[in-house]
Amino acid sequence: MVKTYNRIERIKGSIAQVKAEGVMLGELARIKMSDGRETLGEVISFDHDRVNLQVYLGTKGVSTGDQVRFLGKPMQVGCGESMLGRVFNGSGEPIDNGPELMEEKVDIGGPSFNPSKRIVPKRFVKTNIPMIDMFNALVISQKIPIFSIPGEPYNELLARIASQTDADIIILGGMGLKFDDYQFFKDYFTKTGAMEKTSMFIHLASDPVVECILVPDMALAAAEKFAIQNKDVLVLLTDMTAFSDSLKEISISMDMVPSNRGYPGSLYSDLAARYEKAVDIESSGSITIIAVTTMPGNDVTHPVPDNTGYITEGQFYLHGGRIDPFGSLSRLKQQVMGKVTREDHGDLANAMIRLYADAKKARDRESMGFRLSGWDKKLLSYAYLFEEKMMDLRVNLDTEEQLNLGWQILAGCFDRNETGLKNKWIEKYGKWDK
């Protein structure tokens, strides 16, 4: 039922307060301004009959005498095959000069999927990036962040994952992006052919802040629609710190009592509500989430990465343009390594990381001027090859090729009895001369 009110009680920041009855949380409202223009708002909280509206395009031009019509439905996004290859803003409107979507619209921000229909994650997600596939295998329906500092190539990493993955559908949610970053994604997806199966929801840094918090909900609502149509969907979100900063700005406008570093006390639940959309549905499709979380000052105790770590199933640490093998962890990798992938996968990966850790110690000894042993020199040679052939994010290899390359690197640097690997694996997969 449409309810109309002709007075706005209070305007602060992007929040407009209206005295109204019989409205629901998340309900959409249309504000008609005195000059004839219209804008949309969403009910984000209420206290008895005082309703707080988050105005999508900001409150500039909105006055207390403007008309407010509550539409009796939440924000929706059109979802269907025609949205693939398209770009939309945080309100779900096309920004690629294409037509409006005519398919069925779905509500955004709904509850996570029915737990009784979820199945245990056990399917492998191929990215063709060795530092993910070989050492921290990604599993379908996993939710995992990329922890990074600003300036690292995390957007380039997301673009490579999108273009190299075997997922059916890619949905990118960009928050607080510079125009150059947006153009990079668009050009890269077009060049690699990934755009044909990709839909992008983009909030630029110059766009209204309220649209930023809608982007993950738009992306995930569309992902859910595809998932129940038996599609494996990979959702890429960048940057969840920008999303959290938008939440902070809006909470300040509402005079909410701030929590740690000014973020709202609901930050954990706000993040969890999005990450928990990851799901592998029984007899249907799936949603896998990879989300960038930038760490101001490389501080992992910052509220956003700190809360994220309690929600997600591991993390990829991006440092120095590479995925750090020591700070990265996929808590679900045991579900597929050696089970879905080749039998030697787990032992080989562990041996290579252990030897790389020893190589880091050898580098420290070298930098301090210590005399190097023959073993140290082998380790240094190994570290160079490992970084060049495994850690470089430009490497694009199938999982089988990654495993074979790992054995080749070991054979080129060490004797067969120096790796600590089981003889049965050495005999079957090793690259040493028989």
pLDDT, mean of residues 339-356: 95
Looking at residue 291, its pLDDT comes to 97
Higher-confidence position of 254 and 311: 311
Residue 1 has pLDDT above 70, yes or no: no
Buried/exposed code over 402-420 (b: 16+ C-beta within 10 A; e: otherwise): bbebbbebbbebbeeeebe
Which of 3.20.20.70, 2.40.340.10, 3.30.70.360, 2.40.10.170 would CATH assign to domain 3-74? 2.40.10.170
* Residue 40: per-residue pLDDT: 83
Is the pLDDT score of 147 beyond 90? yes
pLDDT value, residue 57:
72
Mean pLDDT confidence for 308-318:
94
SS (H, E, C) the chain: CCEEECCCCEEECCEEEEECCCCCCCEEEEEECCCCCEEEEEEEEEECCEEEEEECCCCCCCCCCCEEEEEEEECEEECCHHHCCCEEECCCCECCCCCCCCCCEEECCCCCCCHHHECCCCCEECCCCHHHHCCCCEECCCEEEEEECCCCCHHHHHHHHHHHCCCCEEEEEEEEECHHHHHHHHHHHHHHCHHHHEEEEEEECCCCHHHHCCHHHHHHHHHHHHHCCCCEEEEEEECHHHHHHHHHHHHHHCCCCCCHHHCCCCHHHHHHHHHCCCEEECCCCEEEEEEEEECHHHCCCCHHHHHHHHHCCEEEEEECCEECCCCCEECCHHHCCCCCCCCCHHHHHHHHHHHHHHHHHHHHHHHCCCCCCHHHHHHHHHHHHHHHHHHCCCCCCCHHHHHHHHHHHHHHHCCHHHCCCCHHHHHHHCCCCC
Q: What is the pLDDT of residue 12?
A: 83
**Which residue has better confidence, 269 or 59?**
269
- Rounded average pLDDT over 60-77: 86
Does the structure show a pLDDT above 90 at 26? no
Tell me the average pLDDT across 357-361: 95
pLDDT at 254 over 80: no
**What integer best gives the mean pLDDT of the chain?**
90
Domain spans in the chain, listed from the N-terminal domain onward: 3-74, 77-330, 345-429
- pLDDT for residue 221: 92
Residue 269 has pLDDT above 70, yes or no: yes
Share of the chain above pLDDT 70, in %: 99
Given this model, what pLDDT does residue 384 score? 95
CA distance 148 to 135: 18
Architecture of domain 77-330: 3-Layer(aba) Sandwich (3.40)
For residue 255, pLDDT beyond 80: no
Mean pLDDT calculated for residue range 281-286: 89
pLDDT grade for 332, boundaries at 50, 70 and 90 = very high
Q: What is the pLDDT of residue 11?
A: 85
Q: What is the pLDDT of residue 253?
A: 76
Predicted local distance difference test score (pLDDT) of residue 116? 80
Angle between helix 179-192 and helix 154-164 axes, rounded to 10 deg: 20
pLDDT digits (tens, 9 = 90+) for 148-182: 998 899 999 999 999 998 899 999 999 999 999 99
Q: What was the pLDDT predicted at 271? A: 95
Q: Is the predicted pLDDT of residue 424 greater than 80, yes or no?
A: yes
Mean pLDDT calculated for residue range 93-100: 86
pLDDT of residue 353: 96
Residue 102 or 134, more confident = 134
User: Could you give the percent of the chain with pLDDT greater than 90?
Assistant: 60
